[in-house]
Amino acid sequence: MFEILKKRKLAEGVTEYVFNAPKVAAKAMPGQFVLIRLDEEGERVPFTICDYDREQGTITLAIQAVGASTMRLEKMNEGDAIHDMVGPLGKATHLDVEKILLVAGGIGVAVLYPQAKYLKSIGKKVVCVMGARDVSLLAYLDEMKEVCDELFVTTDNGSFGEKGFVTTVVSRIFEQDKNAYDMVFAVGPLPMMRAVCNVTRELGVKTIVSMNPVMVDGTGMCGGCRLTVGGVTKYACVDGPEFDGHEVDFDEVMNRNSYYREIEQKHVCNLTGEVR
Ligand code: FES
């Protein structure tokens, strides 16, 4: 059993959980994920590790309550425990370039935060563009302010930071200096990552994306995370979750991702008693 040691609201519909998981924490690296099951009968759900503390033996997950399991998890409290957790899984991120620009959309900042912390710890300059639809959906703002040398914040409706999208800022940064960064690392909803890739492709700036959002069971068996990268079939949970964004066929993966929406909605309605 894996106890919830701490729970706090990060943003509207997004909760941070600190789990007691010493064996996972001992090996966790930025970019990796865990699979959790709430109980013996529960589905396996993958979540990117957004922080870990080897000394305390804890790992931190930021989870958006959008499906049946995550809505059930949201009802659990500190002191409660989930049935199992497997990990760390997936390949760790290697941000081994000199000048990297981090770009986060929505809850994608939970994936970028450990990267930002890691870059800071090895003495690199940390610059991030983070955005959300509304100020209520901005997570890890204080934490990012702490680790970033420069932080640009956008909201679609202008309720915080600059009004607009992260791509506006990314374009502006490269307009000012086309050699400003050797690489962009973008994490967020699929349309946001595709939009960032469209900007950087034209500029010829290598862009890594995290395909974590398309993972379903994280075991390499369901096929839900299948995607085409550079004309070759890959699985986000086994081969990734990070890939060269300019090689990813976003149209295909966004289409497949929508297959599960109806099924998931039925589970949510069963759970909440909601009728649609
Ligand atoms: S998430 Fe099921 S195969 Fe990757």
Q: Which residue has the higher pLDDT, 76 or 256?
A: 76
In this structure, are 192 and 113 located in the same domain?
yes
237 lines ligand 1 (CB under 6 A): yes
Q: What sections of 83-129 are H helices per DSSP?
A: 109-121
Query: What average pLDDT does this structure show over 92-100?
Result: 82
CA distance 259 to 257: 5
Domain presence at residue 240: no
Q: What is the pLDDT of residue 264?
A: 56
222 lines ligand 1 (CB under 6 A): yes
Query: What average pLDDT does this structure show over 109-124?
Result: 88
Instruction: Report which ligand 1 atom has the smallest distance to the Cα of 225.
Output: 4
Domain presence at residue 239: no
216 lines ligand 1 (CB under 6 A): yes
Local confidence band at 271 (pLDDT 50, 70, 90 cut-offs): very low
209 lines ligand 1 (CB under 6 A): no
In this structure, are 193 and 119 located in the same domain?
yes
Domain presence at residue 272: no
Q: Which residue has the higher pLDDT, 241 or 267?
A: 241
pLDDT digits (tens, 9 = 90+) for 128-164: 999 999 999 998 999 999 999 999 999 999 999 999 9
Q: Which residue has the higher pLDDT, 275 or 219?
A: 219
Q: Which mutation among 35, 48, 89, 222 tests ligand 1's pocket best, with the greatest number of atoms within 8 A of CB? A: 222
Q: What is the pLDDT of residue 259?
A: 62
State the average pLDDT for the chain: 89
228 lines ligand 1 (CB under 6 A): no
What's the CATH number where 187 sits? 3.40.50.80
In this structure, are 50 and 65 located in the same domain?
yes
Instruction: Report which ligand 1 atom has the smallest distance to the Cα of 224.
Output: 2
Residue 17 contacts residue 8 (beta carbons within 8 Å): no
CA of 121 to the centre of ligand 1 (A): 32
Q: What percent of the chain has pLDDT over 90?
A: 59
Domain presence at residue 256: no
Count of the separate structural domains present in the chain: 2
Q: Which residue has the higher pLDDT, 99 or 257?
A: 99
In this structure, are 28 and 52 located in the same domain?
yes
235 lines ligand 1 (CB under 6 A): yes
User: Who contacts 212 (Cβ-Cβ below 8 Å, separation ≥6)?
Assistant: 33, 46, 48, 111, 187, 236, 240, 241
In this structure, are 105 and 200 located in the same domain?
yes
**For the whole model, what pTM was predicted?**
0.86
Instruction: Report which ligand 1 atom has the smallest distance to the Cα of 46.
Output: 1
Instruction: Report which ligand 1 atom has the smallest distance to the Cα of 223.
Output: 3
> Does 273 have pLDDT greater than 80?
no
Q: Which structural domain, as residue segments, surrounds residue 102?
A: 94-205
Q: What is the pLDDT of residue 272?
A: 43
What type of residue sits at position 254? M
Kindly state the DSSP code that residue 164 receives in the 8-state scheme. Answer: S
> Does 195 have pLDDT greater than 90?
yes
pLDDT digits (tens, 9 = 90+) for 164-184: 999 999 999 999 998 899 999
In this structure, are 101 and 163 located in the same domain?
yes
Domain ends where: 165, 180, 205? 205
pLDDT digits (tens, 9 = 90+) for 37-71: 998 888 888 898 988 999 999 999 999 888 888 89
Rg (CA), the chain: 18
Residue 55 contacts residue 111 (beta carbons within 8 Å): no
> Does 276 have pLDDT greater than 50?
no
Residue 156 contacts residue 167 (beta carbons within 8 Å): no
CA–CA–CA angle 127, 210, 7 (5° rounding): 80
214 lines ligand 1 (CB under 6 A): no
A 10 A CB-CB count for 233 gives 10
